[in-house]
Structure 1
Amino acid sequence: MNSSTSGHCSAAPWTAARSDRPAGGVQTPGGTPLFWELPPLSAPRRRPHANTPTRIRASGVAHHWIEFGIDGWRLDVPRKIETEGFWKDVRNVVKSINPEAYLAGEIWSEAPDWLRGDRFDGLMNYPLLDPTLSFFGAGSLRDYSKAHLTFDPLGADAFANEIQRLLALYGWEATCAQLNLLDSHDMARAQWILRGNTAALRQAVLFLMTMPGASCICYGDEIGLSAAGDPHCREAFPWDEDEWDSDLLSFYRAATALRHRHEVLRTGRVEEVQGEGRTVTIRRALGETAALVVFNAGDDPAEIELDSAPLPSTMMSAAWPPTTDGTFQDTAPTVRIPPRGTRVWTAEP
């Protein structure tokens, strides 16, 4: 959009504006024209030379802000632009300025073709979001769906199988760059989907923090925002701290610190994902460093006998919860996990 001298926005020549169609079901005041769509960039008969100026403008915007110092771009509905080579051009511009800049695309479905190293680094990982809330929230899920996300309760075995399938879907570098999330501005808040089951939410957060990918926290989740879908999920952040769930905020801080403290939780290979009943065990490895993550998403204590074969020979030390102390080594230990409990152990050379 371009600003005009009158103080209003005027549409760039390749955009289409409409005043007769409300945005998100909310009627705009006074029938204000809204940006609605980009006509096909490859349709010169509809809009002569639209392809070239749009590419130039998009590349110019990308160049300006990366040079300014932003860390990357999350790009909205990229499939709407079908012009051959468009996103490759944008990537080339961005990476020429900062090879480490992050490019994430808003694609809700599985899309391996978009992560071949020539367009995006990662995608918004909605395919991971669905089973995550469906497992940890089983028993408290609302009757809610969004796009292909159905949030049907999952057992541990089905959850583990789905996670392994998703991990095998992309190359390892792309898996480590996936934008992992529990909700977004386009869907109901996770807290709302889980009917306020904060214990389930905390386990879902810890799952993201112990999996490969870029863990994304939608603003306000960390202080307890709960809302249905559009437009409620887009409410403003409450700046009055009296309205915050301070315990939940402390938890989010501790969970993110756990991930930052242990590189194996960020980039280590996922060696194994096992599920049984309401418990899931995940093993991560990075060189001589290892991590063991165990979730009990049930309402009863669980005892899990760990196979000693995959365990490292060095001592494994407790890393979560922050106040937990405990080690084990060699022989197959039996660990006892409380209801809705999560335990993380790490072994470092």
Structure 2
Amino acid sequence: MTLELNRDWWRGAVIYQIYPRSYQDSNGDGIGDLAGIVERLPYIASLGVDAIWISPFFTSPMKDFGYDVSDYCDVDPMFGTLADFDAVIDTAHRLGVRVMIDLVLSHTSDQHPWFVESRASRDNARADWYVWADPKPDGTPPTNWLSIFGGSAWQWDARREQYYLHNFLVSQPDLNFHNPDVQNALLDVGRFWLNRGVDGFRLDTINFYVHDIELRDNPPLAPELRNATIAPSVNPYNHQEHLYDKNRPENFDFLRKLRAVMEPFGAAAVGEVGDAQRGLEIMGQYTAGDDLMQMCYAFEFLAADAPTATRIIEVLNKVDEVAADGWACWAFSNHDVMRHASRWNLPPAAQRMFASLIIALRGSVCFYQGEELGLPEADVAFEDLQDPYGIEFWPEFKGRDGCRTPMVWEPSNQNGGFTEGRPWLPVSSEHLALSVTAQEQDPSALLHHYRRAIAFRHAHPALMTGDHGGLNASGEVISFTRSAGDETIFCAFNISDTPSDLEMPKGTWDTIGEDLGSAHPSADGKLHLGPWQVWFARKRG
């Protein structure tokens, strides 16, 4: 089944991210799979989301859990078969939910047949499909570029007596986008999945595709400009300004080609922009006009520190400055960062407020599985770690396993209804009381707040696709308006545990969003916001 063609379905959409290893296991092997997703799609549809984004399920040796692809056009047996994927598409579409898949185009696994052939000699048909370079005269790597996973981004290969580039794991060699044959092969990958019915792509590390063909060294980054948004603070990756190993202007040519492939299908893409200094600027560049990507997200709200009112307004103003012609996709959590309930140390009332905030922002929205349950970060013991990132930098950085533990569906057993076998990561006992079944039976549970917030967004065109204005931070209260057509909505959020007052905006306003805890103005003409309280109001006349 295909959904009605709507080229703007993505604008203002709410997208639910599924990490398939951890969503639902259908066969008892302890690993989530595509058939498990099919089983849980009615639940996902009940949230009211517009689309799902499924993290990689392609054939892979799983050194980086699917982000190291060895066959772009098949399903890894641990996740099922192409027929299982077709069932995901058919079931989701029948339920009115679109399907986006995670394409990892910047690099492959070192077990991909393309790389196996490329490394065999310097003169084979795919010799130039990856980024190969001779050593410097003293035998050291060609540049000073560093890997996100630590150490040099170059690995010596004795077969070719050359280095190859890997921005991530040594087992994830980077493709050479300066080769037109590489670009065409990757565009064919996109066509393969579009023809199977996918509605769009999440594009992993979209700004890493193209490297500097001159192989120039990155300059050092001043200590005061370093931050740990992209890599943990213990990683020297933060010591460079990444001008030449990513963010290259030649990337625009490929993105335009990819958009042209997607256009006949009405498909949309959201790109992950990994850059600690220029993320919003690149997001604006990559989503400008109608021939590049529809959406991108940067890491501003995936950062470690809880955002202050001033910081939130600063980010939104910066987006207006550098991405006025683009479109953001906002997220507070995903599979790469500590869950924001723990990262920002949020009590339940604060989690509700942040859910209400994100659905009011101009842009589209991504929710990460379990976020709607308020799952905290799981504490995974070192002996249970699977993530190579955490194993490398333990204990200063514990990796990403804490946000990737299995979804909890019901509290009656230690595996939370995720599997009948031994789960690939242990289920947190702290999560069991927050299971879907437990929250379905509690009208006051966070799960129902997320449903109401999503429905509220869909009920108001101003929140879905409208402009914003009047961005303001007053103490720890932020406020702005959203407007579309004849609808204007005023949004205010107390992002602290201290009561605050706000001057009422001019005009006549009707309070809306009562089921989200929206405040009511008092007779004195002031708006009294309790801790973590919100106010939504629609302008009358």
Q: Which residue of 2 aligns with 1:236?
A: 406
Q: Is the 8 A contact 1:11 1:35 kept in 2?
A: no
Deviation per residue, 1:301-337 (Å, 9 max, x gap): 32222241xx3xxx53222231779988xx9932222
User: Aligned ranges for residues 241-280 of structure 1 at < 5 Å?
Assistant: 243=432, 244=434, 246=439, 247-280=445-478
Question: Structure 1, residues 102-134: CA drift from partner, whole Å, max 9, x if none?
Answer: 11111132213222333311112322x15xxxx
1:268 shift after superposition: 1.6
Bigger mean CA offset, 160-169 vs 248-257: 160-169
Kept after mapping to 1: 8 A contact 2:494/2:534: yes
Task: Classify 1:86/1:35 alpha carbon distance in 2 versus 1 (closer, same or farther; 3 Å).
Answer: farther
Distance 2:307 2:513 in 1: 26
Aligned length: 295
**1:290 and 2:483 matched:** no
- Map of 2:323 onto structure 1: 170
CA distance in 2, matches of 1:77, 1:215: 18
SS of the residue corresponding to residue 199 of structure 1 reads helix
Alignment check: 8 A CA contact 1:222 1:252 kept: yes
TM-score normalised by L of structure 2: 0.49
DSSP 3-state at the match of 1:59: helix
Q: Is the 8 A contact 1:24 1:230 kept in 2?
A: no
Task: After superposition, give the CA deviation of every residue in 1:123-170 in whole Å (9 maximum; x if it has no partner).
Answer: 12322x15xxxxxxxxxxxxxxxxxx351663x345434422223321
Q: Distance in 2 between matches of 1:92 and 1:235?
A: 37
CA distance in 2, matches of 1:191, 1:318: 28
Moved more, 215-224 or 339-348: 339-348
Q: Tell whether 2:200 aligns with 1:72.
A: yes
Aligned to 2:534: 342
Matched residue, 1:113: 285
Change (3 A) 1:294 1:55: same
Paired AA for residue 252 in structure 1: Y
What's the counterpart of residue 366 of structure 2?
216
Query: Contact between 1:288 and 1:348, CA under 8 Å: does it hold in 2?
Result: no
SS of corresponding position for 2:458: helix
CA distance in structure 1 between the partners assigned to 2:343 and 2:271 by the alignment: 24
Kindly tell me: are residues 54 and 162 of structure 1, through their superposed partners in 2, closer, same or farther at Cα, counting changes over 3 Å?
Answer: closer
Aligned-residue Cα RMSD (Å) equals 3.3
Return closer, same or farther for 1:280/1:338 CA change in 2, 3 Å cut-off.
same
Q: Taking structure 1 as reference, are residues 241 and 256 closer, same or farther at Cα in structure 2, changes over 3 Å only? A: farther
| Partner in structure 2 of residue 192 of structure 1 | 342
| 222-231 or 318-327, which deviates more | 318-327
- Distance in 1 separating the partners of 2:347 and 2:315: 23
Instruction: Call closer, same or farther: CA 1:81–1:165 in 2, change over 3 Å.
Output: closer
Shift in CA distance, 241/211, structure 1 to aligned 2, threshold 3 Å: farther
* 8 A Cα contact 2:520 2:535, kept in partner: no
Give the aligned partner of residue 29 of structure 1. none
Which structure has more relative contact order (CA 8 Å, sep 6+)? It is 2
Q: Secondary structure at the match of 2:172?
A: strand
Q: Is the 8 A contact 1:300 1:338 kept in 2?
A: yes
Alignment partners' CA distance in 1, 2:207 and 2:329: 17
For residue 512 of structure 2, what is the aligned residue in structure 1? 319
Shift, 1:196, TM fit = 4.4
Instruction: Return the alpha-carbon distance in structure 1 between the equivalents of residues 307 and 184 of structure 2.
Output: 47
3-state SS of 1:203 partner: helix
Partner amino acid for 2:321?
Answer: A
Relative to structure 1, is the Cα distance of residues 171 and 249 closer, same or farther in structure 2, using a 3 angstrom cutoff?
same
Check 1:333–1:269 CA distance in 2 against 1; reply closer, same or farther (3 A cut): farther
SS state at 1:280 partner: strand
State the identity %. 20
The answer on whether the counterparts of 1:318 and 1:325 sit within 8 Å (CA) in structure 2 is: yes
Residue number in structure 2 paired with 1:145: none
Q: Secondary structure at the match of 1:293?
A: strand
User: Residue 319 of structure 2 aligns to which amino acid in structure 1?
Assistant: L
How far residue 346 of structure 1 moved from its aligned partner, in angstroms, is 1.5
Residue 94 of structure 1 is matched in structure 2 by 262
1:281 aligns with 2:466: no
Counterpart for residue 138 of structure 1: none
Change in 2 beyond 3 A, CA 1:258/1:241: farther
1:344 Cα deviation (Å)?
Answer: 0.6
Offset of residue 72 of structure 1 = 0.7
* Contact 1:157–1:275 under 8 Å retained in 2: yes
Q: What is the TM-score normalised by the length of structure 1?
A: 0.74
Q: Distance in 1 between matches of 2:532 and 2:524?
A: 23
Q: Cα offset for 1:235?
A: 1.8
Change (3 A) 1:272 1:238: same
In structure 2, relative to structure 1, the CA distance for the partners of 1:101 and 1:39 (3 Å cut) is closer
Tell me how far 1:240 sits from its aligned partner: 2.2
Asked if structure 1 preserves the Cα contact closer than 8 Å seen for 2:498 and 2:530, the reply is yes
2:176 corresponds to: 40
Question: Aligned equivalents of 2:184 and 2:318: distance in 1?
Answer: 39
Correspondence for 2:18 = none
Q: Is the 8 A contact 2:501 2:527 kept in 1?
A: yes
Residue equivalent to 1:179? 329
Q: Is the 1:316–1:327 contact (alpha carbons within 8 Å) kept by the matching residues of 2?
A: no
Cα pair 2:517 2:534 within 8 Å, conserved: no
Q: Are 2:527 and 1:304 equivalent residues in the alignment?
A: no
Structure 2 match to 1:12: 113
Q: CA–CA distance in 2 between the matches of 1:295 and 1:161? A: 15
**Partner Cα distance (2:316, 2:518) in 1:** 29
CA distance in structure 2 between the aligned counterparts of 1:323 and 1:223, rounded to whole angstroms:
16
Query: Structure 2: which 5+ residue stretches go unaligned?
Result: 1-69, 79-108, 120-147, 151-168, 212-249, 379-398, 413-431, 440-444
